[in-house]
A and B are shown apart, each in its own frame.
Chain A
């Protein structure tokens, strides 16, 4: 049914991702499919690295840790954006197409009034990809 799960991750807030990561791992085991973790970063120095190369290393370790702890097949993709605050959704949509992911599992917030005029990342992904999108609320 599903071929690959894509999980967008914001490593700065990795501590808040547990429900989404667990959900993705359980689904990966159920359908025996790999999980691709995707991180979007800028080319400027940020909290996770001086450059995209350092960011990529951290994402790689994160992906390997997830694979080991959940016993699933994982890989990761680092996408560089000039303006990640704005480009995030488009980069994720593009990456979902490129990787052939037909299930996206991602953490999301409790809806609020801002969502009426500022669509959530998950909402935009659901309306702009043909993949199934599983939004996981904070526990």
Chain B
């Protein structure tokens, strides 16, 4: 070999490769459609795209039936299987935290001598932008205030009486619970869900040599059958959950962004503006996926994080800084103290909180896990298992605590210090306008027209960073785990996502399909539990 070789971090060192005759791409069809080359998995690509079109058509032809069925299904799942979602969530947290302390924590993803593909900053920005992003914008203000005043987790009384008058003796406990109950939804549990799936995919791809596809994590259970229909179904389900998760979020998000634009700039709130928003977001996402992982997705994620950090610092310093610091500490302590009670599914009376919020969130995080987990896996090669879990589980959880303490703390302070003048109270407690909660809080601070504009920009960019990373994930799965499939394929998926969102927005059915996405959380809960076992088995066969 020439000494000009600047190539690989080779050798990759010891790793416990799985001995299989399957060759990546062996089921792929390489063909030309017009001027465009295609390299797609047979049958995952065709079946996924076909089933998605069928579901959209069905939702449009039978909107009432779809709405009735999924309207029943969503609460039925979150109330009947609350115990499963909550217990499984606890298993994921315990399992991932335990891995930090086992000797398996020193196993490196990609082999003993592999080096990380990304710096901490780039890596963290990408996983955070894909994993949480938009939710923080909408729920950062809404949830702490809502849990403090209305949902009453663990029976904590509201600080307001029926006439909206403050009950001083309830304030302190309600304030702490509002933050603790929110942190519970955005802290360890969601990130543990993502970490399990991401770790399984990274381990079975980088260390065991299997394709970067959800099916690979099932090799210890299904063996060679994973390359047949069992595996096809798993991958198709993952594509399905990812695409519908993204499209329904894009559609509903466009409605929310439009409401924000109307509130801040007086732009009319109608379908035309929403369609323009979706086209705009999809166009930016298209540029991002065509520029690739490094030139597009990573750059946008870093810009996104920088703007979010600026907004966070602004609210922290311009808002009630001392109160926010106090809320951060109290919220964190409250979370730790109440964690066993909040995560216990049995004997609870606060079913509004547990079914309406916690079970729903768990089902939502789990249904999104194929997308976020696979994206995290793609950018996590070269990290040790311990480093991986600390950075995917603990650090994002801490950032979420900070975010909730700053945005939620500032909002709660506005609500309690002057309830009659508080726009947050008007939009969250007196009436329910979740899309306006962030802007209502910013209204209570100086320079609100500038910060609200930044808020709208952030909402849009967060959508773009979910859309572009989601398109890359779907493209990889439908190309049989190949990451070098022709670029027009990822353009197809990003455009398809935008088109489906527009069709659903115009024809109705967004909420029904969102409920259907959540229903995929149930089978995926079992899938993730099986993955814990597969990870354990996979780690045990790794050389240490």
Q: How far is the CA of A95 from the CA of B486 in the complex (A)?
A: 22
**With A and B bound together, what is the CA distance between A26 and B375 in angstroms?**
45
B373-397 contact mask (Cβ, 8 Å, vs A): 1 or 0: 0000011010000000000000000
The reply to whether the CB of B348 lies closer than 8 angstroms to some CB of chain A is no
A55, B484: Cα distance in complex, Å: 14
- The yes or no answer to B4 lying at the interface (CB within 8 A) is yes
Q: How many A-B residue pairs have CB under 8 A?
A: 124
B483:A84 contact, CB within 8 angstroms: yes
Does A25 reach chain B (CB closer than 8 Å)? no
In the complex, are the beta carbons of B206 and A77 less than 8 A apart?
no
Q: Which residue of B lies closest to A38 (CB)?
A: B7
State whether B1 touches A47 (Cβ < 8 A).
no
Decide: B35 and A85 in contact? CB cutoff 8 A.
Answer: no
Asked if A33 is at the interface (CB within 8 A of a chain B CB), the reply is no
In the assembly, what is the distance between CA of A87 and CA of B484, in Å? 10
Binary per-residue interface labels of chain A (69-88) against chain B in the complex, 1 for a CB within 8 Å, 0 otherwise = 00000011111101111110
Compute how far the CA of A52 lies from the CA of B34 in the bound complex, rounded to whole angstroms: 33
Main secondary structure of the interface of A (DSSP, over half): mixed
Q: Which of B10, B117, B296 contacts A56 (CB 8 A)?
A: B10
Name the distance in Å between A112's Cβ and chain B's nearest Cβ.
Answer: 4
B487 touches A86 (CB 8 A): yes
Whether the pair B25, A46 counts as a contact (CB closer than 8 A) is yes
Interface of B is mostly: loop
Question: Which of B35, B117, B481, B487 is in CB contact (< 8 Å) with A112?
Answer: B35
**Given contact pairs A43-B381, A46-B484, A86 touches B4 in the complex (Cβ within 8 A):** no
Contact status B12-A45, CB under 8 Å: no
Q: What is the interface size of chain B, counting residues whose CB is below 8 A from a CB of the partner?
A: 50
Choose one: A56, A87, A98; the contact of B294 (CB below 8 Å): A87
| A51 and B209 within 8 A (CB) | yes
CB distance from A16 to the nearest CB of B (A): 11
Q: A82-B294, A98-B6, A113-B35 are in contact. Are A44 and B212 (CB under 8 A)?
A: yes
CB distance from B212 to the nearest CB of A (A): 5
User: Bound complex: CA of A42 vs CA of B294, how far in Å?
Assistant: 13
* B9/A80 in contact, CB under 8 A: yes
A98's nearest neighbour on chain B, judged by CB, is B6
Flag if A51 contacts B110 (CB, 8 Å). Answer: yes
Shortest beta-carbon distance, A56 to chain B, in Å?
5
Residues from chain A with Cβ under 8 Å of B25 in the complex: 12, 46-47
Q: Is B459 in the interface zone, CB < 8 Å from A?
A: no
B291 is an interface residue with CB less than 8 A from chain A: yes
Is the pair B4, A98 in contact by a Cβ cutoff of 8 Å?
yes
Is the pair A82, B117 in contact by a Cβ cutoff of 8 Å? yes
CB distance from B459 to the nearest CB of A (A): 27
Interface string of A90-117 (1 = CB under 8 A from B): 0000010011000000000000111100
Contact pattern, A 24-65, Cβ under 8 Å of B = 1, otherwise 0: 000000000000100001111111001111011000100000
Q: How far is the CA of A85 from the CA of B117 in the complex (A)?
A: 17
Interface presence of B17 (CB below 8 A): yes
Interface membership of B482, Cβ < 8 A:
yes
Give the CA-CA distance A41 to B483 in the complex, in Å: 9
Q: Which residues of A contact B12 (CB under 8 A)?
A: 51-53
Given contacts A51-B12, A56-B10, A82-B293, contact A43 B4 (CB under 8 A): no
| A80 surroundings in chain B (CB, below 8 A) | 7-9
Minimum Cβ distance to chain B for residue A17 (Å): 15
- Asked whether any CB of chain A lies closer than 8 Å to the CB of B101, the reply is no
- CB-CB under 8 A from A60, the residues of chain B are 1
B11: contacting residue among A36, A43, A44, A53, CB under 8 A? A53
Query: Is B205 an interface residue when CB atoms closer than 8 A count as contact?
Result: yes
| Interface of A toward B, CB cutoff 8 Å | 12, 36, 41-47, 50-53, 55-56, 60, 75-80, 82-87, 95, 98-99, 112-115, 118
Instruction: Give the 9 A-B CB pairs with smallest separation, nearest first.
Output: A86-B292, A50-B209, A75-B2, A114-B35, A78-B7, A83-B293, A52-B8, A53-B10, A83-B292
Q: A45-B481, A85-B483 are in contact. List 17 more A-B contacts (CB 8 A).
A: A44-B481, A47-B482, A51-B110, A52-B7, A53-B11, A75-B2, A76-B2, A77-B4, A77-B6, A84-B484, A85-B292, A85-B484, A85-B485, A85-B490, A87-B295, A112-B35, A118-B487
Q: 26 A–B contact pairs at CB < 8 A?
A: A42-B483, A43-B110, A43-B381, A45-B211, A45-B212, A46-B482, A47-B26, A50-B17, A51-B12, A52-B9, A55-B8, A56-B1, A56-B10, A75-B5, A77-B6, A77-B7, A78-B10, A80-B8, A82-B292, A83-B293, A86-B290, A98-B4, A112-B35, A114-B36, A115-B35, A118-B487
